[in-house]
């Protein structure tokens, strides 16, 4: 064999080896890609590109497929219109009939070369496309629930349902939602300390897009700051924050919420969202000073009249009344603004409050996590 022929054979052998090695590498990747495809009724909806946390791509895809299958069984709305995007903590969450399917995370969006919002729209379009086959979806759901053994070709589920479908509905509570509650613990700025526990109950059911927060749900919070009323008419104050919500089924969800507006006769202190209330406002103090001053004027005038009369009557009576009124009025104002303690905040059990959520929250009977 000539040197040229030997060189040609060697190059061909190297090229073949490279090609075979690439095929060997691509084979598991193709298998992995196939396993991470989310399907409905035999139709491909979208592909999961990366895992999350300790989950592999395959594990995450399996979890998302279960969520989608569960939602299809549990919801009454299997039409494309039932697919929604709800934002929770800045990330888009895809739902079907109010049931969580998947949270579109930044890693997945980066792998797809786009943003979470755009990727969520793509995945939603894929799910909606599969739901257009209503007959196929019905057959698929029948297979999932074991109610139909017809085995229609092309519509078999991709996985065998071996456990009952969890019917846990995810309910999203938007930021800014107001919860009407009644205190079940009494509070006073005179004795309360930061860290003291506060409890209240939702006083009427709160309707949401995909469900409701039931009446009687318990809201937990704590005293963030407390100051007793002091001399020089310095008002007492309370700052409360609420951190969790427990529904009657026992599911507890973290929230962040603050007191909204005035509470009974107590006014909000500080900026909106501060969660602080105080015992009395400057207007209240001025009104109190005017009342006490008027009382002082009357009492001083009577005293001055008597003194003027004793001093000689006539013009002495008028001058005495005028002087006494001035002195009495000044003493009344001094008592109101300088000598007395400022009013404390006292909230009794049963007091109606309005809480406003600082961030969105999600309530669910079953914790599926952010997938």
Provide DSSP, 243-257. Answer: EEEE-TTS-EEEEEE
Dihedral (C-alpha) 330, 334, 336, 339: value to the nearest 10 degrees?
-150
Residue 181: per-residue pLDDT: 94
**Residue 236 to residue 343: CA distance in whole angstroms:** 6
Over the range 331-346, which residues count as b (16 or more CB within 10 Å of their CB) and which as e? bbbebbbeebbbbbbb
Name the most confidently modeled range: 24-33, 117-126, 297-306.
Answer: 117-126
Q: CB neighbours of 87 closer than 8 A, spacing ≥ 6?
A: 93, 360
User: For residue 319, what pLDDT is reported?
Assistant: 54
pLDDT band at residue 301 under the 50/70/90 scheme: very low
Tell me the C-alpha distance between 182 and 199, whole Å: 9
- Distance from C-alpha of 206 to C-alpha of 4, rounded to nearest angstrom: 84
Mean pLDDT rounded to a whole number for the chain: 74
* End-to-end Cα spacing for the chain: 62
The CATH 2.40.128.260 domain(s) of the chain lie at 171-280+345-364
Contact 351, 162 (CB under 8 A): no
More confident residue, 191 or 369: 191
CB-CB contact of 324 with 304 (8 Å): yes
Which residues, including other chains, have CB under 8 Å from residue 204's CB and lie 6 or more apart?
Answer: 180, 215
Please tell us whether the domain made up of 171-280+345-364 is placed in CATH 2.40.128.260. Answer: yes
Helices (H), 151-281: none
21-37 pLDDT tens trace? 444 444 343 333 445 99
With a CB cutoff of 8 Å and minimum separation 6, the contacts of 227 are: 189, 236, 237
Share of the chain above pLDDT 70, in %: 63
pLDDT higher for 351 or 306? 351
At 328, the pLDDT band (50, 70, 90 cuts) reads low
Per-residue pLDDT, 48: 95
């Amino acid at each position: 064999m000539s040197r040229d022929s030997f060189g040609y054979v060697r190059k061909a052998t190297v090229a073949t080896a490279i090609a075979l090695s690439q095929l060997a590498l691509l084979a598991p990747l193709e298998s992995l890609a196939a396993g991470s495809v989310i399907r409905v009724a035999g139709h491909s909806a979208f592909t999961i590109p990366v895992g999350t946390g300790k989950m592999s791509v395959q594990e995450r895809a399996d979890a998302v497929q279960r969520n989608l299958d569960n939602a299809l069984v549990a919801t009454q709305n299997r039409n494309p219109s039932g697919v929604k995007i709800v934002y929770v903590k800045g990330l888009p969450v895809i739902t079907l009939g109010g049931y969580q399917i998947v949270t579109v995370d930044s890693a997945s969006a980066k792998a797809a070369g786009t943003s979470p919002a755009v990727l969520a729209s793509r995945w939603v379009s894929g799910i909606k496309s599969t739901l257009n086959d209503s007959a196929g979806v019905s057959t698929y759901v029948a297979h999932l629930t074991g109610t139909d053994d017809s085995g229609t070709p092309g519509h078999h589920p991709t996985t065998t349902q071996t456990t009952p479908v969890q019917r846990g509905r995810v309910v999203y509570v938007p930021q800014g939602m107001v919860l009407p509650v009644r205190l079940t613990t009494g509070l006073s700025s005179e004795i309360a300390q930061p860290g003291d526990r506060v409890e209240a109950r939702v006083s009427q059911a709160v309707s949401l897009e995909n469900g409701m927060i039931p009446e009687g749900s318990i809201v937990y919070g704590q005293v963030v700051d407390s100051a007793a009323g002091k001399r020089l008419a310095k008002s007492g104050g309370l700052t409360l924050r609420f951190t969790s919500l427990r529904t009657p089924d026992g599911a507890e969800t973290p929230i962040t919420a603050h007191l909204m507006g005035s509470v009974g006769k107590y006014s909000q202190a500080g900026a909106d969202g501060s969660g602080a209330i105080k015992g009395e406002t400057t207007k209240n103090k001025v009104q109190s000073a005017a009342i006490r001053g008027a009382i002082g004027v009357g009492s001083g005038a009577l005293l001055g009249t008597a003194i003027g009369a004793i001093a000689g009557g006539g013009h002495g009576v008028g001058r005495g009344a005028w002087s006494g009124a001035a002195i009495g009025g000044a003493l009344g104002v001094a008592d109101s603004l300088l000598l007395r303690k400022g009013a404390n905040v006292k909230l009794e059990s049963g007091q109606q409050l309005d809480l406003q959520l600082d961030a969105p929250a999600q309530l669910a009977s079953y914790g599926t996590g952010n997938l």
